[in-house]
Structure 1
């Protein structure tokens, strides 16, 4: 396919996403099935263009004066790719497979600086109904924070210290991939591969470094969230919403395979990948507790855990860099449902924390109604728990990792927040509570 044909295809896919309000991955898959002549490079290029357009959907549409797929692509080229109107006209020429030429109205709109007077939610590319929610936590920085959330995310890897060391893993990856990973300052265990659109994302799962269990794919924010929880050798730990095991696999090396982690999830299907992952990583101190109908598989753990980690179900607003279409599909009703889920899961998890033990509440959300509000509501109903001072959490991590976080980790009254703008990670909230009685 020619470059202009890819633009036409991206417009077609965007219109499908907008008209049918469906996930981008589904629309791209269906387009590929109905256009089998398109090669893998074509499909990747179209997908990159679609996802980039979705990241900047609001500002691009505003800049182009309409909300359909064509307008979003035109606005993307003008505002976010820095093309002037003549350059856009050379792409939108109407020639074979190219989109129709610009109209006089489109030419005039694209030539104006419309974004200068746009409201915050347009310049920050987030849903207008979330403006108050996001303003609560970011205040005057909301546009800058959300513009950072609209950027593409790098590929982060965590070195598994049970099998390798960061320097060795970095050398292995450099040899296999032909490119050296970066070493983010916030963690000695993170290796980062910045995006290289012309090369595409490397297939890490097929490298020897991955297959030998030396590395795991995990965003730096998720790595830090597991670190702030404070798992240490000899502890009894319950990962209450373990899913595929990402944070279990991060905590086990921190515990040096000593002590015990119980990995549980209410949905047994989400737990399915964890067994192979544990074996590959060389982890020996994890028991997987799979739910069984009519049986309480965690009954023997009540009030016995030094640490219970709750990776709570949430709206995922902190992952919009990786799932840009999700921010346009989220609705108030889904937020209300997640808040109910969060209240229920933190209540259920508290049962297993022993006196003196810790309850770590984690979300990949930016919304205070899913974060501090949920923690405050729990504390109001459970006077036997108290929040660990966020500064104490940061100081403990800095001492362990021998680094300084500076202002990259934001301290909130009841927890910590990570964001792309400050920490170069996905958005995460972490609160740690201690059971005093």
Structure 2
């Protein structure tokens, strides 16, 4: 039964809103993760149906050995929708099997009631917005070049074009030079390129923070990723730094820390020192971090912008005071992280990001941060739009920044499903006098841009129309 108890523990954490599905599953031991993930996801897809069947059969009322609803959910799922309960005989398994006939009868009645011809028709469908988001992969420049990657994909039969129009089409991203977009249905999790760390599966918007932070690529560079697990942004920072200098990656949770170390090893990040500590407990006066100039902050958030993961299966958006109270707690924590980062004596740039669409976690946090003692004494302000993805169209909401149009324009927003990304928010605090892009990042971007330009398909010249208007 241990397998089922592990799945129940994941569902309990999700009910308590202790993370996204992907994040919570990442804490499951790797040897059990694939099997546990499959059960959790399938149970969530049929959760509403399974709850109705369990209640109609009065299973929990009649069987006290079923200690929780989530335990009943995973067992009934396997009884009705899989190959049966995969556990040796015991009191808990028998407690469910005693009601097999009643449970199956209620399930068949529910199918008829809903007009479902197959059990798949009872499952919760995917978030429709996910269909407009390509499958993004970041070419890991610590291993090879964009030029080499393009040749490999073209040799596999992929052609440059609109990735949403064909499963064999892909394109170089317009904003992140080492990012490629493929059709949403293309899978890379078993691809040797992914397994060897040559490509990183990472949503486009998730690449923005490291790109905007723009750390230097020299042996003197010192950078912090304050909340590093699972490691995508950390590995991106390492690539931008060309594996030079020192990158401190903090993760307080022990299991997520193990995930982080495994990811960094696969991505060949040799300049990273992973630290199993809460960033907030680290003293800015510690001489070890005296030279840190760049800090990336991507703290816990509501995750309300994520649509192309599995989190549409969760009831994340509570109504009323409960959700408002939760968002306020998250915002207070996010502000605390920014204030702490501003205390580091040599820090020049702080990228703050969330995968939230809520202003309370985004514009409001940034606005409050600018008024703190740390910001005033440290002379921190928002970087000009020219330094924060200047060609990105969707910016901060001025109304949520007390009508400060200029400051709002310095922020970046992504709308889920509308911008070809998940929902996201990015800001960049800079210390007065620290404006401008780092030399190392400039060189890296120019090199990547040159490689990308060589492989972009030439635009066809439009025929001049002879019609008058």
TM-score interval w.r.t. the shorter chain?
Answer: 0.5 to 0.7
Q: CA deviation at 1:16?
A: 4.1
Gaps of 5+ in 1: 1-8, 39-68, 75-88, 101-146, 399-404
Residue correspondence of structure 1 range 267-278 to structure 2 within 5 A: 267-278=253-264
TM value normalised by structure 2: 0.58
CA contact (8 A) 2:222 2:293 kept: yes
Gaps of 5+ in 2: 1-42, 55-67, 85-106, 159-166, 398-407, 434-469
Matches of 1:240 and 1:339 in 2, distance apart?
A: 16
Match of 1:377 among 359, 362, 368: 368
- 1:317 equivalent to 2:363? Answer no
- 1:218 equivalent to 2:223? Answer no
Q: For 1:423, what is the secondary structure of its paired residue? A: coil
Residue correspondence of structure 1 range 75-154 to structure 2 within 5 A: 149=129, 153-154=133-134
Q: CA deviation at 1:308?
A: 0.9
- 1:363 equivalent to 2:381? Answer no
Q: Give the equivalent residue in structure 2 for 1:5.
A: none
Q: For 1:432, what is the secondary structure of its paired residue? A: strand
- 1:431 equivalent to 2:427? Answer yes
TM value normalised by structure 1: 0.62
Residue correspondence of structure 1 range 47-62 to structure 2 within 5 A: none
Q: CA deviation at 1:302?
A: 4.8
Match of 1:157 among 119, 125, 137: 137
Q: Give the equivalent residue in structure 2 for 1:260.
A: 246
CA contact (8 A) 1:223 1:247 kept: yes
Q: CA deviation at 1:240?
A: 0.8
Q: For 2:349, what is the secondary structure of its paired residue? A: strand
Listed one character per residue, the Cα deviations across residues 49-90 of structure 1 (whole Å, up to 9, x for unaligned) are: xxxxxxxxxxxxxxxxxxxx9xxx99xxxxxxxxxxxxxx9x
Q: CA deviation at 1:174?
A: 5.9
Q: Give the equivalent residue in structure 1 for 2:329.
A: 337
Match of 2:386 among 383, 392, 399: 392
C-alpha RMSD of the superposition:
4.3
* Stretch of structure 1 that moved more, 315-324 or 170-179: 170-179
CA contact (8 A) 2:292 2:346 kept: yes
Matches of 1:33 and 1:168 in 2, distance apart?
A: 49
Q: For 1:308, what is the secondary structure of its paired residue? A: strand
CA contact (8 A) 2:334 2:361 kept: yes
Q: Give the equivalent residue in structure 2 for 1:207.
A: 191
Q: For 2:170, what is the secondary structure of its paired residue? A: coil
Q: For 2:265, what is the secondary structure of its paired residue? A: helix
* Stretch of structure 1 that moved more, 377-386 or 166-175: 166-175
Q: Max radius of gyration: which structure?
A: 2
CA contact (8 A) 2:209 2:351 kept: no
Matches of 2:365 and 2:78 in 1, distance apart?
A: 42
CA contact (8 A) 1:158 1:215 kept: yes
Matches of 2:350 and 2:313 in 1, distance apart?
A: 32
Q: Give the equivalent residue in structure 2 for 1:230.
A: 214
Q: Give the equivalent residue in structure 2 for 1:31.
A: 77
CA contact (8 A) 2:354 2:426 kept: yes
Q: CA deviation at 1:31?
A: 2.0
Listed one character per residue, the Cα deviations across residues 351-381 of structure 1 (whole Å, up to 9, x for unaligned) are: 22516x1111111111111011111111111
CA contact (8 A) 1:170 1:180 kept: no
Q: Give the equivalent residue in structure 1 for 2:14.
A: none
Q: Give the equivalent residue in structure 2 for 1:192.
A: 181
Matches of 2:174 and 2:206 in 1, distance apart?
A: 15
> Alpha carbons of 1:304 and 1:205: their partners in 2 closer, same or farther (altered >3 Å)?
same
Q: For 2:247, what is the secondary structure of its paired residue? A: strand
Q: Give the equivalent residue in structure 2 for 1:306.
A: 293
Matches of 1:302 and 1:92 in 2, distance apart?
A: 61
Q: Give the equivalent residue in structure 2 for 1:282.
A: 268
Matches of 1:378 and 1:266 in 2, distance apart?
A: 24
Q: CA deviation at 1:296?
A: 4.7
Q: For 2:152, what is the secondary structure of its paired residue? A: helix
Residue correspondence of structure 1 range 242-261 to structure 2 within 5 A: 242-261=228-247
Matches of 2:419 and 2:121 in 1, distance apart?
A: 40
